[in-house]
Structure 1
Amino acid sequence: MKTIKRSIGSVALAATFMLTVSCKDASKTEATTTSEPTTENTVASQESVTTSDKQDAKAEVILKDYFNLKDALVGDDGEKAKEFGATLTNSLKAFEVSNYSADEQSELKDIIEDATEHAEHIAESDIKHQREHFKTLSKDITDMVAITGTKMTLYEQFCPMYDRGSAWLSTKEEIRNPYHGSAMLKCGSVQRTIN
């Protein structure tokens, strides 16, 4: 039994070491991640996000504001992130769900309510706390896109080093990590392409 525990401990230590080394230096090549992240907050890669006939201009505005917020976090700019958090809050509150089915409306209302709460916190917090809320906000925005669709090609990206693994959306395939900013700018990998 002790041998099994040591073996499991050795494998876990080796995996942790490999991930740490792979994401430690931003000038190195992009880190690789396991094919299936194990956090419950990560959107499962099997989920399908497709373009819907129900395109909503307000959903596209929400995405634009989300990407501005992400870019502020990538640039380690907490003040700009506060501004974009407030802008995103307003965009989320202006979103209209009436064009969707009853089930979609119910789901979208829950998503928008949760995303609004996180955007409000980002608008009032320091950068460390902003990044904590950005993790859940990113999941909410990904869930919203699964229903609303988008005209853009998006990349769901994943960093194994932030809070046991965290995902975010980007319009570019190149990794620019909003959770670590300049400290680990290129840490992560593309999990999937949306659209």
Structure 2
Amino acid sequence: MMKTTKRNIGSLVFITVLMLSVSCKETNKKSTPSAKESVEKQEVLDETGTMGSEQNVSSESVLEDYFNLKNALVEDDNNSAKKMGGVLAASLGNLNKSAYTDSQQETLAAIAEDAQKYAVEISSSDLDSQREHFKYLSVIITNMIAITGSESTVYEQYCPMYDGGTAWLSTEKAVLNPYYGSSMLRCGTVQREIN
């Protein structure tokens, strides 16, 4: 009961911070949490200790952690990406699969295990290696969404320049490239919308 209450308070604080964050100085764009806000979420999780102790993390929470990691890479923030890689690894390890068929549960378990390996690598890598691992992680998370769906629209975006062409997922249509960050922030296009 206490862990659930603390998690709910932590989630409420994070959602409030997320809602108050300012978008990328462009009109009609959803705001995304900065790497700093994502680190604040990590600190809340560290204080409550809930991520490692319960098997009830929703696929939406996994997606949120993936997007926070993506945002840290967009900002060229190695330390925040390391922390968010750890958060994502914990979420993946605690993914609740009970609402799915036996076959889907088996597939989701394999997806979570594979994705967790890349998230763990990201949690201890330099920025270039984090981006390389994020490429494979993005493919796996896309496979997860094919089973779990998403409560909101997810945009699959594509950069033709990174490693012969690489995709990632975003909550907003505006391209913010996690593979190049500030050096080529707007490199890429929206390939498709996933609902």
Question: Any idea what SS the aligned residue of 1:177 has?
Answer: coil
Moved more, 160-169 or 94-103: 94-103
* Equivalent-residue separation in structure 2 for 1:80 and 1:99 (angstroms): 32
* Equivalent-residue separation in structure 2 for 1:73 and 1:180 (angstroms): 8
* Equivalent-residue separation in structure 2 for 1:157 and 1:185 (angstroms): 13
C-alpha deviations, 1:87-111, integer Å up to 9, x for none? 0011001102222112211211111
What is aligned with 2:64?
Answer: 64
What is aligned with 1:175?
Answer: 175
* Equivalent-residue separation in structure 2 for 1:184 and 1:101 (angstroms): 42
Question: Any idea what SS the aligned residue of 1:193 has?
Answer: strand
Shift of 1:182: 0.6
Structure 2 spans left out of the alignment, 5+ residues = 1-55
- Aligned pairs for 1:86-97 (under 5 A) are 86-97=86-97
Shift of 1:168: 0.3
* Equivalent-residue separation in structure 2 for 1:192 and 1:102 (angstroms): 29
Closer, same or farther: CA 66–106 of 1 in aligned 2, 3 Å: same
Give TM-score scaled by structure 2 length.
Answer: 0.70
Question: Any idea what SS the aligned residue of 1:155 has?
Answer: strand
* Equivalent-residue separation in structure 2 for 1:94 and 1:103 (angstroms): 18
| 1:194 maps to 2:194 | yes
Question: Any idea what SS the aligned residue of 1:163 has?
Answer: helix
| 1:160 maps to 2:160 | yes
Structure with more helix by fraction: 2
- Aligned pairs for 1:22-41 (under 5 A) are none
- For residue 81 of structure 1, what is the amino acid of its counterpart? A
| 1:133 maps to 2:133 | yes
- For residue 141 of structure 2, what is the amino acid of its counterpart? I
What is aligned with 1:149?
Answer: 149
Which of the pair has more CA radius of gyration?
1
What is aligned with 1:123?
Answer: 123
What is aligned with 2:80?
Answer: 80
- For residue 79 of structure 1, what is the amino acid of its counterpart? N
Question: Any idea what SS the aligned residue of 1:168 has?
Answer: strand
Question: Any idea what SS the aligned residue of 2:167 has?
Answer: strand
* Equivalent-residue separation in structure 1 for 2:96 and 2:60 (angstroms): 12
Identity of counterpart residues, as a percentage?
54
Which structure exhibits the higher relative contact order, with contacts defined as CA atoms closer than 8 Å and separated by 6 or more residues? Answer: 1
Question: Any idea what SS the aligned residue of 2:155 has?
Answer: strand
CA-based RMSD = 1.1
- Give aligned pairs, total: 140
* Equivalent-residue separation in structure 2 for 1:193 and 1:99 (angstroms): 24
- For residue 163 of structure 2, what is the amino acid of its counterpart? D
Shift of 1:136: 0.6
* Equivalent-residue separation in structure 2 for 1:57 and 1:108 (angstroms): 13
Give TM-score scaled by structure 1 length.
Answer: 0.70
* Equivalent-residue separation in structure 2 for 1:177 and 1:162 (angstroms): 10
Question: Any idea what SS the aligned residue of 1:95 has?
Answer: coil
Moved more, 184-193 or 97-106: 97-106
Structure 1 spans left out of the alignment, 5+ residues = 1-55
Shift of 1:57: 6.0
- For residue 94 of structure 1, what is the amino acid of its counterpart? N
Question: Any idea what SS the aligned residue of 2:58 has?
Answer: helix
